Structure 1
Amino acid sequence: MARVPFLPRRPFRRPPGRRAPRGPFAAPRPFLRALGMVAVVLFGAWLGLLAVGGVRTPVGPMDTTMTLRPSLDGGTRIDVSPLGSLELDSHHAPVRLDVDVDRLDPVRSQALVRHPERLAGLEDEVTDDVAAGTRELALRSCVAVVTGATALGLAVYRRPRRALGAGGLALALPAASGVGVYATWNPKSVLEPRFSGLLSSAPSVVGDARSIVTDFDVYQREPARLVTNVTKLYDATSTLPVYRPDPATLRVLHVSDIHLNPAAWHIIGSLVEQYDIDVIIDSGDTMDHGTAVENGFLDPVTDLGAPYVWVRGNHDSAQTQKYLADRKRFPNVRVLDQGRAVNVGGLRVAGVGDPQFTPDRTGPEQAADVQSVAGRTLAAALREQRRSGTPVDIAVAHEPEAVRETDGEVPLALAGHVHHRRNEVLDGGTRLMVEGSTGGGGLRAVQNEKPEQVLASVLYLDRATRRLQAWDEITLGGLGLTKAEVSRHLPQDDRPDATPSPIRFG
């Protein structure tokens, strides 16, 4: 048989005009490959961070665990069990620093008790410990991110070059995060902490309003001082430091929209005692229907331990106002209406009651017009008070739209009604502070899927100038009171590097 010669196979060539096949067997497009690589890098980096966990490091006499976590908001969270947690807006980057105080080392703490002279150098020691722990955490996190992305890349692609590429891209994540932290680092974040946990301990940890303003340079040296203070708290857990009010500071408790919730009286009484409140200002809607049957709900006001200034809300009737204005029944209550001003607790306060009672509302346009008229009545009374040489320090109305009419006539205006907080400086220089519901929306809140939070604020004013120095926003977790949070805020003018405002009242 004749041997057939071997012919080499020609390479296949697609005829001109024919496209490559599409469907499940087609090669992925470049942007899909890139998207897949990004997903592998991010997921692998996250797994790496979870795997490495935290860095256990001693900080002074305490054992702590530092952890970096992916986050949309950034910031720093310090958990101090059992006192609660402290959150700082220290930076805005895709990572958050969590610091858990695990325990107080008995040997090191007893050494401090036996040798109190060592407390003088404790802050330097704490600073060095925090810096060393942060460096170790950053290094381990970088290694974990790269290792996690590389390992996941190898598992997905099964090609060493692609896996190494994923690891290289992952290295950019900690680098970019570091740049973000550096660019947005806010050393002043300790001025406005959010403390969650034991409400009774919050004022002791947050500190006094005047000391935060005057000792700003001291607070710049956090978190070393914070850790030192926590150490002292642990050392005297049963006798936490007592909050000693500054005699040059007036304290005003602003409440609103109690809506017939009896739990509010206990909360207000506790805050009066804890913060040594000089004046309570209630911006209305204490009742729900304003009927005479509800009047007995107001009787606990006499036992709150501080003067009580009140304006009528749209759920409070004329009957409600008449009952509360009885000075024999309520010797500590001052009812304000039609721009009336009173001197109470070292402050001069004027207010106007809501001109509408809930069943009488007929439409938003009429409501806005009536509120504007009430606000102009209050503003005219403020001008008259100033001309007579007795300028008003605080104006109060239930509706924010009404009290806006006092812009430029008074330094501080308070309102409620909307059941959430608002805080703004109006065009004329008046600061408008709207409080949420101190009654958590009232007893009707139990009908909602999620109860409203209980809100109140403590305002700190200079006793000589009646100028607002700072305020604490107090938030309780609804009717269940499952959590407590206190956040400190300062006006821009009170910051040490601020230019004093040229606006003057009175």
Structure 2
Amino acid sequence: MRLRAALALLLVVAATLAGGVLALATFRQDKELPVATVRLSVQPGEHGALGIYVPLVDWGVRFGAVRLPVQLRIDVRRIDRAAAERIARNRTVDVQQVRAAATDAIRDYLRALVVVVLVASLLAGGVTAFAVRARRGPRVRWLLTTAAGTALIGTAAVGLLLPPRGALDDPTYFAHGADIPQALQALETVNRSVGTLSEELDAQLVGLARLVLAPGERGTLPSGGPRLTLASDVHNNVLVLPTLRRIAAGGPLFIAGDLTDRGTPLEASVTRDVAAIGEPTVFVTGNHDSATLERSLARAGAIVLTRWGRLLPDGSYGAQVVDVAGLRVAGYDDPFTRREPGRERGARPEPRTTQELQDAFARWFAPLQARVDVVMVHEPALLEPVLRGLAERPPDHPIAFLVGHTHEQELRTQRNVVVLNGGTAGGGGTGNLAESQPIGVAQLRYALRPSFQPLAADLVTVDPGNGDATARHERLDLSSTASGSR
């Protein structure tokens, strides 16, 4: 009897909560703002965030300002053409009016949502209470009391935890499909401010009008400037090569090692098509690669860099520093690269970066420091002594270190130095089966006049299942950056 009573109470609680969640997922409202119509809705099961999405340009921005595990979503449904033309022509807008209207719209939606969640929870819990009542079970009034209490608690949680709170900083940009780099480039033309929710809405909606009608007029970065794409740790996942091609978009592609799992001749033949993706493709080996792979890529037209210089198709070595899209580039092959032909299949010890290996890299880098803009190496741990030295005595020109191996995206900066890791471009393995990881790449935007100057870094992830992309965009000012990381 006690078990039956407990089950009845649990069913009522579960039904009440399910009613509230269903209301969260389905209730939406369209609101008219001075420059656009927006739709407000909630997506349960997401990391707590405020999301603003603009279908017209297929990109959006998220902020971790919501404490409930849902995303409060704001979708731009329609742009007021007359308002857009007026803004673009006069370059003025009643910002206070837009902010007030956006804030009021969100406030009204949240109030209505709380009422809808409460009513839906009570209905679902009440119907279930009558459905599970029994002579030997809890009385109906206790079941209804349980439903009411659960509904009130759930509604209170929504009312307290759903409204965005705190500063809207550290935005994450996203796009549907692998076009997030183009979205980020477009974003540079939008006059953004993320101090408050209303300011962000103003920037997204008002700035969008100028983006549509007068793109590039207010860009803070040079329009159409050069950029490089960084990928690593593909691990034979050739399914991502079309994605890399779209992201590289005719620019240079740097692959910082672990293109394969062992570097066997079969793997080399399967992955060698990567040489034709970038213009050009630049490669250094990782601990999962081999000399066999190096030679295959060099013969396929890739720029294969080693500590001894560029590997040429005939097996000889060329210059240590090569020109790639106006950049002076050097690369350091991984110390654990398999260099014995035919021995790629043997057991592979876990690589361990020793002081001796770090010292060897430092000795290699020292005479090249004044001659390079970009250094590519698979294992970021090899850099640590060099980075400490550059923090104490910064170089007189910017240097970008492109790394991989960790399968985690990272951007570190110090004065005139940037370290960029795109994560795992292979999502952890062929078909994303070995590890549940998103495809990760990075892009570095730079200027070349009067000399190499990194301007911005985009850390991009692409879902291998549906192609949806997200990105973190960071502006770089290495001339004024103190030693540290971010």
Pairwise same-fold verdict (TM > 0.5): yes
Secondary structure, aligned partner of 2:42: strand
Q: Residue 408 of structure 1: CA displacement?
A: 2.0
User: Does residue 206 of structure 1 match 2:183?
Assistant: no
Aligned residue number for residue 422 of structure 2: 435
Tell me the residue number matched to 1:501: 482
Q: Residue 19 of structure 1 corresponds to which residue in structure 2?
A: none
Q: Which residue of 1 aligns with 2:206?
A: 228
Q: Which residue of 1 aligns with 2:110?
A: 138
Aligned 8 A contact 1:93 1:177 in 2: no
Give the Cα separation in 2 of the matches to 1:312 and 1:59: 54
Q: Does 1:416 find its partner at 2:416?
A: no
Q: Conserved in 2, the CA contact under 8 Å of 1:413 and 1:433?
A: yes
Taking only aligned residues, the RMSD between alpha carbons, in angstroms, comes to: 5.2
Cα deviation, residue 194, structure 1: 2.6
Following TM superposition, by how much is the alpha carbon of 1:60 offset from its aligned partner in structure 2, in angstroms?
3.6
- In structure 2, what is the Cα distance between the partners aligned to 1:48 and 1:312? 52
Is 1:91 the counterpart of 2:91 in the alignment?
no
What is the Cα deviation at residue 458 of structure 1?
0.1
Instruction: Say if 1:120 and 1:219 are closer, same or farther in 2 by CA, change over 3 A.
Output: farther
Residue of structure 2 equivalent to 1:336: 306
User: How far apart in 1 are the matches of 2:229 and 2:384?
Assistant: 21
1:299 to 1:35, Cα distance in 2 relative to 1, 3 A: closer
Structure 2-normalised TM-score? 0.69
Partner of 1:397: 377
1:471 aligned partner: 457
Q: Which moved more, 1:341-350 or 1:93-102?
A: 341-350
Instruction: Tell me how many residue pairs correspond in the alignment.
Output: 448
* Local SS of the residue matching 2:199: coil
**Over alpha carbons, which structure has the higher Rg?**
1
Give 3-state SS (helix, strand or coil) of 1:138's partner: helix
Cα deviation per residue 1:438-463 (whole Å; 9 max; x = unaligned)? 46677xx2595999754321023576
Contact 1:154 1:160 in 2 (8 A): no
Alignment of 1:111-190 (within 5 A): 112-113=84-85, 117=89, 120-121=92-93, 123-155=95-127, 156=129, 163=144, 167=148, 170-171=151-152, 173-180=154-161, 184-190=165-171
SS at match of 1:121: coil
Equivalent position to 1:284, from 257, 266, 274: 257
Contact preservation (8 Å) 2:233, 2:423: yes
- Deviates most, 83-92 or 420-429: 420-429
Equivalent pair of 1:368/1:401 in contact (CA under 8 Å): no
Q: Please, which moves more after superposition, 33-42 or 336-345?
A: 33-42
Q: Provide Cα deviations, 1:94-123, integer angstroms capped at 9, x if missing partner.
A: 14312233445xxx4256547855762265
Aligned position for 2:316:
none
The 1-side partners of 2:456 and 2:329 are apart by 19
Deviations 1:302-331 (A, max 9, x none): 78435x4432234544354456568xx95x
Q: Which structure 2 residues correspond to residues 259-274 of structure 1 after superposition, within 5 A? A: 267-273=243-249
Instruction: Work out the CA distance in 2 between the residues paired with 1:451 and 1:175.
Output: 35
Task: Among all aligned residue pairs of Structure 1 and Structure 2, give the percentage whose two residues are the same amino acid.
Answer: 20
- Whole-angstrom distance in 2 between the partners of 1:219 and 1:73: 18
- What letter corresponds to residue 376 of structure 2 in structure 1? V
2:286 equivalent to 1:313:
yes
Structure 1 residue 56 and structure 2 residue 30: aligned? yes
- Cα deviation digits, residues 265-301 of structure 1 (max 9, x gap): 6655544447xx4x54221244674549957975874
Structure 1 gaps, min length 5: 1-22
Give 1:83 deviation, angstroms: 4.4
1:397 Cα shift? 2.1
Contact 1:75 1:91 in 2 (8 A): yes
Change (3 A) 1:143 1:121: same
Matched, 1:75 2:49: yes
Within-5 A mapping of 1:346-357: 347-355=327-335, 356-357=337-338
In structure 1, what is the equivalent of residue 360 of structure 2?
377
Give SS of 2:93's match: helix
Is the CA contact (8 Å cut-off) linking 1:55 and 1:137 kept in structure 2? yes
Check whether the contact 1:400–1:416 (CA below 8 A) recurs between aligned residues: yes
Instruction: Determine helix, strand or coil for the equivalent of 1:136.
Output: helix
Question: Contact 1:379–1:409 at 8 Å: present in 2 too?
Answer: no
Match of 1:376, SS?
helix
Partner Cα separation in structure 1 for residue 404 and residue 241 of structure 2: 17
The equivalences for 1:13-32 within 5 A come to: 23-24=1-2
Partners in 2 of 1:138 and 1:447 — Cα distance?
Answer: 39
AA of the residue aligned to 1:188: D
Match of 1:253 among 211, 229, 239: 229
What is the DSSP-based 3-state SS (H/G/I as helix, E as strand, rest coil) of the residue aligned with 1:364? Answer: coil
Q: Within 2, Cα distance between the matches of 1:219 and 1:147?
A: 28
Shift of 1:151: 3.5
Measure the CA separation in 1 of the matches of 2:196 and 2:17.
40
Gap change, CA 1:459 and 1:33, over 3 Å in 2: same
| Paired position in structure 1 for 2:471 | 487
SS in structure 2 of the partner of residue 45 of structure 1: helix
In structure 1, distance between residues paired with 2:152 and 2:243: 51
1:42 aligns with 2:17: yes
> Relative to structure 1, is the Cα distance of residues 25 and 179 closer, same or farther in structure 2, using a 3 angstrom cutoff?
closer
Answer whether contact 1:350 1:382 (CA < 8 A) is retained.
no
Give the secondary structure class of the aligned counterpart of 1:92: coil
Residue of structure 1 in register with 2:40 after alignment = 66
Amino acid at match of 1:227: L
List alignment gaps of at least 5 residues for structure 2.
Answer: 131-138, 310-318, 391-398
SS at match of 1:253: strand
Q: Tell whether the 8 Å contact from 1:311 to 1:337 is kept in structure 2 after alignment.
A: no
Q: Indicate the SS of the match to 2:109.
A: helix
Instruction: Report the CA distance between 1:180 and its aligned residue.
Output: 3.9
Change (3 A) 1:431 1:48: same
**Does the aligned pair in 2 maintain the 1:372–1:401 contact within 8 Å?**
no
- In structure 2, relative to structure 1, the CA distance for the partners of 1:414 and 1:469 (3 Å cut) is same
Cα offset, 1:224, TM superposition = 1.8
TM superposition shift of 1:26: 9.9
Residue identity opposite 1:226 in structure 2: Q
Partner of 1:6: none
1:241 and 1:79 map into 2 onto residues whose CA distance is: 22
Paired amino acid for 1:133: A
